[in-house]
């Protein structure tokens, strides 16, 4: 038998037996598609991808073999040589919405299968009609020729087919549309190819434009995300980001409210490891969304007559509303306790106006004598030695500190609770030096003078102005 006759006989036999074998080719494709589906789910990519599987249609196979023989002079001497040459008898296509996901999908394919060959189809489209050269690259996709790993052949009961190969095509959904259109044109013959050559080139141009825009957008998004993850360089930067979000995304009521003190917000964000545009934006999205005006109005009533602003509202939402309890960072450390109490007093003075109103609220809980004794103790410059690291050893000092800590811990007035919650969370003031200690004394002295003057039945708002 001549080589030509033998080739014709093998091709005819293969085509004759193919309908019976097609089901097994489909099983191979189904196994590969299932593995891809599970892997994409694990990587949170499945929802943005389309997965198709198929065994090659008989007529499509016949035409492909004819083209191979006519245009490439391909001859086959065994049935296996046809299987090795027609690599897409079993095929799976993974099409993703975002161009940026292509590399992630390729890593999945390379990790889940035995890779026989990889081919990148991104070359310039061939000249399909005399005098016309396409301006844009044609079909663009990455094709993998793979086999199942041994464990998967057992899992899918394909032990007898483990040597067979499956083609996996990875591309974007846009290129899938182009591939389908081009493939249909290819099947309809050369006359239609010539007729639609320019239309296809226009289609390719649109794809190239869309692809370029997607890449540009992806790069901008990546730069934006990288910038958003970097810490703020200055307090002014925090204030600018805060006001910009309010102006562009905030509800109408928030734009009418006083924004608040940027340095306070900066200190809080830094202490809570939230000192980035991304973290601040998430905080604002969470607490200034729908129904936030009702929460704000309700909270303002709880603080009345003390005035609040948007920064105070955010701090309250994080420390007192969202978190059921703010635990002390170092509750058994006397040094931390001293710094926290001092910081709470300073924060109360910094955050709330008018001053005598929060002083009234401070006195609305517990015994004033315990408070007076504790504040006088804090006012002693001797505490600077404790702040410098010397141990608190005297029993009297420990009792005074514990009494003052309990006073703040059990206080139920919201302004005092918020300032103390900030301090317990670790938002501490720098009071370890004499000049910084002056900030505390600046707050304490007028309050102590008024406290000595007043009695339990006299509110701070009635203390003479000269004393306050």
Q: What is the CATH number of the domain that holds 154?
A: 3.30.460.10
- 25 and 158 share one domain: yes
- 37 and 167 share one domain: yes
- 307 and 210 share one domain: no
Confidence at residue 125, expressed as pLDDT on a 0 to 100 scale: 45
Confidence at residue 432, expressed as pLDDT on a 0 to 100 scale: 52
Peptide bond into 305 cis (omega under 30): yes
Instruction: For residue 116, give Cα distances in angstroms to 84, 110, 162, 339, 428.
Output: 11, 10, 13, 66, 61
- 24 and 59 share one domain: yes
CB 154 within 8 A of CB 162: no
- 427 and 279 share one domain: no
- 185 and 81 share one domain: yes
User: Is 467 domain-assigned?
Assistant: no
pLDDT per position as a tens digit, 318-333: 999 875 545 555 667 8
User: Is 328 domain-assigned?
Assistant: no
User: Is 249 domain-assigned?
Assistant: yes
User: Is 229 domain-assigned?
Assistant: no
User: Is 267 domain-assigned?
Assistant: yes
Confidence at residue 128, expressed as pLDDT on a 0 to 100 scale: 46
Select from 186, 219, 252 the last residue of a domain.
Answer: 219
Select from 184, 219, 254 the last residue of a domain.
Answer: 219
d(Cα 146, Cα 317) in Å, to the nearest integer?
A: 54
Residues of the chain under the 70 pLDDT cut: 1-7, 122-139, 160-163, 178-201, 203-204, 207, 211, 215, 323-331, 364-366, 381-389, 429-439, 450, 452-468
CB 38 within 8 A of CB 94: no
Domain of residue 313, residue span: 235-322
Instruction: For residue 274, give Cα distances in angstroms to 62, 246, 278, 284.
Output: 64, 18, 8, 12
Confidence at residue 206, expressed as pLDDT on a 0 to 100 scale: 74
- 202 and 165 share one domain: yes
CB 108 within 8 A of CB 70: no
Select from 267, 287, 322 the last residue of a domain.
Answer: 322
- 119 and 45 share one domain: yes
Instruction: For residue 373, give Cα distances in angstroms to 359, 369, 376, 409.
Output: 16, 6, 5, 17
Residue for token pair 């300073």: 346
- 70 and 206 share one domain: yes
d(Cα 25, Cα 18) in Å, to the nearest integer?
A: 10
Confidence at residue 352, expressed as pLDDT on a 0 to 100 scale: 84
User: Is 186 domain-assigned?
Assistant: yes
User: Is 230 domain-assigned?
Assistant: no
User: What tokens does 416 get?
Assistant: 């005092």
- 84 and 212 share one domain: yes
Structurally, how many domains does the chain consist of?
3
* Residue 151 burial (CB count, 10 A): 8
Q: What is the dihedral of CA 418, 421, 427, 428, to 10 degrees?
A: 100
Give buried/exposed letters for 421-447 (b at 16+ CB in 10 A, else e).
bbbbbbbbbebeeeeebebbeebbebb
User: What tokens does 242 get?
Assistant: 């805060």
Sign of the CA dihedral with 68 first, then 69, 70, and 72 last: positive
pLDDT per position as a tens digit, 379-401: 775 666 666 667 777 888 888 88
Confidence at residue 209, expressed as pLDDT on a 0 to 100 scale: 76
d(Cα 429, Cα 409) in Å, to the nearest integer?
A: 18
pTM of model > 0.75: no
- 144 and 16 share one domain: yes
User: Is 418 domain-assigned?
Assistant: yes
CB 343 within 8 A of CB 416: no
Peptide bond into 163 cis (omega under 30): no
Phi, psi of 114 (to 5 degrees): -85, 115
- 152 and 71 share one domain: yes
């Amino acid at each position: 038998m001549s080589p030509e006759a033998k080739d014709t006989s093998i091709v005819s036999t293969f085509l004759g037996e193919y309908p019976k074998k097609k089901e097994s080719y489909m099983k191979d494709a189904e196994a590969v598609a299932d593995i891809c589906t599970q892997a994409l789910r694990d990587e949170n990519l499945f929802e943005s991808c389309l997965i198709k599987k198929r065994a090659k249609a008989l007529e499509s196979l016949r035409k492909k073999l004819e083209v191979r023989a006519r245009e490439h002079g391909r001859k086959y001497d065994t049935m296996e040589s046809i299987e090795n040459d027609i690599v897409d008898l079993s095929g799976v296509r993974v099409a993703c919405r975002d161009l940026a996901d292509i590399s992630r999908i390729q890593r999945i394919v390379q990790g889940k299968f035995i890779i026989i060959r990889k081919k990148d189809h991104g070359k310039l489209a061939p000249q399909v009609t005399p005098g016309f050269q396409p301006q844009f690259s044609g079909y663009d996709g990455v094709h993998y020729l793979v086999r199942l790993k041994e464990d998967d052949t057992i899992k899918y009961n394909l032990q007898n087919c483990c040597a067979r190969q499956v083609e996996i095509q990875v591309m974007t959904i846009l290129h899938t549309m182009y591939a389908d259109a081009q493939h249909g044109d290819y099947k309809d013959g050369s006359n239609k190819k010539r007729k639609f050559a320019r239309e296809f080139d226009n289609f390719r141009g649109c794809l190239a434009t869309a692809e370029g825009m997607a890449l540009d957008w992806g790069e901008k998004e990546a730069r934006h995300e990288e910038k958003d993850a970097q810490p703020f360089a200055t307090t002014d930067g925090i204030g600018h980001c805060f006001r910009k979000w309010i102006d562009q995304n905030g509800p109408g009521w928030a734009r009418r409210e006083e924004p608040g003190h940027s340095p306070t917000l900066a200190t809080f964000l830094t202490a809570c490891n939230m000192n980035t545009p991304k973290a601040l934006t998430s905080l604002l999205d969470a607490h200034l969304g729908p129904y936030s005006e009702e929460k704000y109005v309700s909270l303002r009533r709880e603080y009345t007559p003390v005035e609040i602003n948007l920064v105070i509202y955010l701090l309250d939402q994080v420390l007192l509303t969202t978190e059921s309890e703010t635990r002390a960072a170092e509750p058994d450390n006397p040094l931390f306790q001293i710094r926290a109490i001092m910081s709470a007093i300073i924060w109360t003075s910094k955050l709330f106006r008018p001053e005598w109103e929060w002083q009234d609220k401070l006195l609305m809980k517990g015994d004033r004598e315990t408070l007076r004794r504790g504040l006088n103790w804090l006012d002693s410059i001797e505490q600077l030695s404790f702040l410098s690291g010397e141990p608190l050893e005297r029993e009297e000092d420990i009792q005074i500190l514990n009494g003052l800590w309990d006073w703040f811990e059990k206080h139920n007035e919201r302004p005092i609770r918020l300032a103390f919650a900030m301090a317990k969370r670790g938002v501490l003031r720098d009071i370890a030096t004499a000049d910084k200690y002056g900030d505390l004394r600046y707050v304490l002295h007028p309050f102590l003078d008024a406290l000595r003057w007043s009695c339990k039945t006299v509110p701070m708002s009635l203390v003479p102005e000269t004393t306050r």
